[in-house]
Structure 1
Amino acid sequence: MPKAKQKQRRRKYNYNINRKKLNKAARKRAAPRIKCPQIRHAWDRSKTVSQNLAEMGLAVDPNKAVPIPKVMRMEVDGQDTKTKIVRKPYVINELEYEASLPEKKSETLSRDLIDYIQHMIWNHGENYKAMARDEKNYYQDTPKQIKRKINVYKRFYPEEYKAFIDSLQQETMDQQ
Structure 2
Amino acid sequence: MTKIRKQRRAKRYNYSTNRRRLNLKRKKQPTIEESALKKEWNNLKSIRFNMESMGLSFDSNKSVSKGRFNKAGSTSHHAEPLPDKKAVRKELEYKASLPENVKLRLSEPDTQYVIYMMENYGEDYKAMARDKKNYYQDTPKQIRKKILKFQKIPELFDAYKLMKEQEMNVIDAS
- Asked if TM exceeds 0.5, the reply is yes
Change (3 A) 1:34 1:18: closer
Change (3 A) 1:116 1:13: closer
Q: Any runs of at least 4 consecutive aligned residues in structure 1 with deviations exceeding 3 A, and if so which?
A: 11-14, 31-36, 38-41, 43-48, 88-102, 165-173
Which residue does 1:79 correspond to in 2?
Answer: none
Shift of 1:127: 2.6
Return the TM-score normalized by structure 2: 0.56
Which residue does 1:63 correspond to in 2?
Answer: 70
> Quick one: higher RCO (CA 8 Å, sep 6+), 1 or 2?
1
Percent identity of paired positions between Structure 1 and Structure 2:
37
Which residue does 1:116 correspond to in 2?
Answer: 113
Counterparts of 1:37 and 1:144, CA distance in 2: 42
CA contact under 8 A between 2:150 and 2:156: conserved in structure 1?
A: no
- Structure 2: runs of 5+ lacking an equivalent: 1-8, 64-68, 74-79
1:136 and 2:133 are equivalent in the alignment: yes
Q: How does 1:24-35 map to 2 (within 5 A)?
A: 24-29=21-26, 34=30
What letter is aligned with 1:168?
Answer: K
1:161 pairs with one of 154, 157, 163: 157
CA contact under 8 A between 2:55 and 2:72: conserved in structure 1?
A: no
- Structure 1: runs of 5+ lacking an equivalent: 1-5, 67-81
Change (3 A) 1:107 1:45: farther
Which residue does 1:146 correspond to in 2?
Answer: 143
Return the TM-score normalized by structure 1: 0.56
Q: How does 1:73-88 map to 2 (within 5 A)?
A: 84-86=82-84
| Higher Rg | 1
Counterparts of 1:12 and 1:133, CA distance in 2: 64
Counterparts of 2:50 and 2:100, CA distance in 1: 29
